[in-house]
Amino acid sequence: MLAPRLTVSGFRVPGFLYGTAWKEQETERLTRLALEAGFRGVDTANQRRHYVEAGVGAALKGAIAGGVVRREEVFLQTKFTSSGGQDHRLPYDPKADPATQVRQSFASSLEHLQVDSIDSYVLHGPSSRRGLTADDRSVWRTMEELQTAGRTRSLGISNVTLDQIEELWTHAVVPPAFVQNRCFASLGWDRAVRAFCRAKGIVYQGFSLLTANGKELQHPAFLRLVARVGRSPAQIVFRFAQQVGMLPLTGTTNAAHMREDLESDRFELSGEDVHLVETIATVAPTR
C-alpha cells in the first residue's frame, strides 16, 4: 500500500514519512525496505551524529535501479545542522561563515543522496533555545537562495518553539512550508505550534509520536480505545495525527510494522476518539 498524498506549495507530498535517524549501518537496508513497503517520503539529515545520509542515497539509487520507485515519486527531505548539533564529522568547514556552511552542507547532501535537487530542505533547529540569532537568519537567507535557484522545492524548520516560528514567519522572504517537531502528548501534541501552522498553511510534521509518549499510550482509556477500534496502538496514534492535520513520521525497523503503519488511513476515528487521544495526558486514569 502506498502512503496517501497531500499538496504543498503546488506539489504532491506523501501523507507519511519514513524517518532514518539512528539507523547507522542499517540505514540503507531499512530505507530500501521502507520504499518497498510503500513509503514515498524519506526524512534524513546531513548530521553524521544521528544519520547516515549516504545510506539513504544508496537505498534510493538501488530502489530506482530495481524498478521499485522513480525519483519523481519520492519526497526527499534532508536538513542543514549547525555545529552545535554535530559531532566531529562535520559536512562543512567549521571556520566558515554560516552561509558558506549551508552551501557546503547542501552540496554534500546532493552527493550523499546522489540526486540533483531536494524536495524539502530543513533547518535542523535554531542555534539558540530562544529566538533566532543572526547566524540563524543568515542560514535561512542562504536556504532561500537555494530554493529560489530551484535546488530545493521547499524549505522547513525543525525543533522550533512557537516564538521562533513566529519570528521566522515575520522575517522570511520564503516562508517555511514545513515545521517538524518532536510531539509530546503531555504538551497537547505541540498544540500551540500546530495551531500556528494551521493558521499559516504550514504542514506540521510530527516525530517521536510513539517513543515520546510511552506512558500516555499505556493509559487505560487509550488501551480501551485500541481494543474497541481493533487497530494497533501505533495505527491509532498515526491516524489521530493525520486527522488533526499532522504529517507523521515513523522510524520503525520492522517490515510488518511499516506495512501496518501505512494502513493507518484505512479507518476513521470519531470526533470523540480524536479528542480522547488529544487530551489523553489529562484524562483521569480510571479503569
What is the domain-level CATH number for residue 143? Answer: 3.20.20.100
The answer to whether 221 and 280 are in contact (CB under 8 A) is: yes
* 7 part of a folded domain: no
Instruction: Dump pLDDT digits (tens) for 33-79.
Output: 999 999 999 999 999 999 999 999 999 999 999 999 999 999 999 99
Instruction: Dump pLDDT digits (tens) for 88-135.
Output: 999 999 999 999 999 999 999 999 999 999 999 999 999 988 899 999
For residue 120, count CB atoms less than 10 angstroms from its CB and return exposed for 0-12, middle for 13-18, buried for 19 or more. buried
Residue 2 pLDDT class (50, 70, 90 cuts): low
Chosen domain end from 182, 202, 223 = 182
Instruction: Dump pLDDT digits (tens) for 243-272.
Output: 999 999 999 999 999 999 999 999 999 999
Residue 12 pLDDT class (50, 70, 90 cuts): confident
Residue 251's domain spans which residues? 214-287
**Residues 133, 244 within the same domain:** no
**Residues 97, 26 within the same domain:** yes
Provide the pLDDT for residue 129: 87
**Residues 21, 151 within the same domain:** yes
Average pLDDT, the chain: 95
**Residues 35, 167 within the same domain:** yes
- Cα 39 from Cα 26, distance rounded (Å): 17
* 201 part of a folded domain: no
Write out the H or E segment, with its range, that includes residue 181: strand 178-182
**Residues 255, 177 within the same domain:** no
- Cα 159 from Cα 165, distance rounded (Å): 10
Residue 287 pLDDT class (50, 70, 90 cuts): low
pTM of the model: 0.95
